[in-house]
Amino acid sequence: MPAISKKGQLMPESPIRKLVPYAEQATKNGKSIYYLNIGQPDIKTPTIAIQAVKDIDIDVLAYSRSEGSELYRQKLAHYYTNHNIDVSEKDIIVTTGGSEALLFAFGSIMDSGDEIIIPEPFYANYNGFSIASDIKIVPVISKIEDNFALPSIEEFEKLITSKTKAILICNPGNPTGYLYSEEEIKKLAQIVKKHDLFLIADEVYREFAYDGNTHYSVMQEEGIEANAIMIDSVSKRYSMCGARIGCLVSKNKAVIQTALKYAQARLSPPTLAQIACEAALDTPQSYFDAVISEYVNRRNTLISELKKIEGVKVANPKGAFYCIAQLPIENADHFAQWLLESFDLNGETVMVAPAAGFYSTPGVGLNQIRIAYVLNEDSLIKAVAVLKEALRVYNN
């Protein structure tokens, strides 16, 4: 039998999606599930985006430009200008989701065997992207006790070698919900300038900043124009996960020219989705005000309810819509599967994402889960009640 590639064997399963078969079986068995495992918002997509697709009148659904349509990139640049990010359409490559933007970035700046430093826990697919690109993730651990704040400069510098090419952050963070401050971004800028590294910032949750905090982009930091690469996406901003439109943004012309070659190799990003996203850029601020208010209420409710459970430790997220909870158990993978296979409370159970998959350091995060607070407050209260009873039964 022909052999599967080593890359294919090493490619990790998604800690978010690998439990889906168990959830499907639980549903067939009559259980009702509270889905806390995946960042699929229940927020309504802006009507203006859906209507733009409905109103389309074309005879041929053709390719767009490899870098994305010029009008969409111009409107994107205007959007960034309104967020104090000074870029033009020439600094933007439109991609098929933020995932492709990350793959383009990795391919443009790193060779086989190169290293990238990432504070962990981090978005689980970074592991997959690194294997696909044949590069090595070097983790620097942030801790739940510190609310997953940026580790010290000294911790980063201990890890820098001749193979280090970049530092990658997610801001605000998935899975932690941590929002890096302007001071922390400046510390990272200091490191990448000193060691001549790239700084990649995954900023797809930019709008979701709470408690009076504001998002500070790497693209706002002066002096690192050659170092900074921003990854963005419409998926969460407009609750348009299915559009699969993201972008890579950099003022480094060599990075953009190289990423364009990758873009040309896959021809073009989806034309219809770009039309929807172009329209979505006209979404009024009132939409975001309402959405942020809703997420703040959900976060407050979730954190409050989780803290009522004996033995549970939870970080308080300042952005995005995720949190990491540490449970009084030894193995969250086993617990998450048990929840779906063997437990229910009055016919209800919960689906969570084991957090070990968000680390690359072996043995770390085994007793942690990621929770996405993408359900309404009433459902979150009920879900945590189910989780509380589940922990009692599981530990007995």
Within 10 Å of residue 266's Cβ, how many Cβ atoms? 13
Mean of the per-residue pLDDT values of the chain: 95
> What residue type is 155 in one-letter code?
E
Q: What is the Cα–Cα distance from 396 to 384, expressed in whole angstroms?
A: 18
**pLDDT at residue 17, rounded to an integer:** 76
Give the pLDDT band of residue 40 (cuts 50, 70, 90).
Answer: confident
Ranges for all domains in the chain classified under CATH 3.90.1150.10: 6-44+286-395
Indicate where the chain has its CATH 3.40.640.10 domain(s): 47-280
CA 338, CA 385: separation in Å to the nearest integer? 17
Alpha helices in the chain (DSSP H): 6-10, 20-28, 47-54, 70-81, 97-109, 125-132, 153-159, 182-195, 253-265, 271-280, 285-306, 332-341, 377-395
How far apart (Å, rounded) are the C-alpha atoms in residues 332 and 241? Answer: 27
pLDDT (tens digit per residue) in 195-222:
999 999 999 999 999 999 999 999 999 9
Place of tokens 């009084």: 328
Q: What share of the chain has pLDDT > 90, as a percent?
A: 95
Amino acid, res. 161: T
How far apart CA 87 and CA 49 sit, in angstroms, is 24
Confidence of residue 18 (pLDDT cuts 50, 70, 90): confident
Q: Kindly state the tokens that stand for 19.
A: 């439990």
| pLDDT tens figures, 130-179 | 999 999 999 999 999 999 999 999 999 999 999 999 999 999 999 999 99
Residue with tokens 């689906």: 351
Q: Which DSSP string corresponds to 28-41?
A: HTT-EEEE-SS---
Residue pair 343/108 in contact (Cβ under 8 Å)? The answer is no
- How many CB atoms neighbour CB 59 within 10 A? 5
CATH class given for the domain over 6-44+286-395: alpha beta
* CATH pick for 47-280 out of 3.40.190.10, 3.40.50.620, 3.40.640.10, 2.40.40.20: 3.40.640.10
Chain position carrying tokens 């407009």: 238
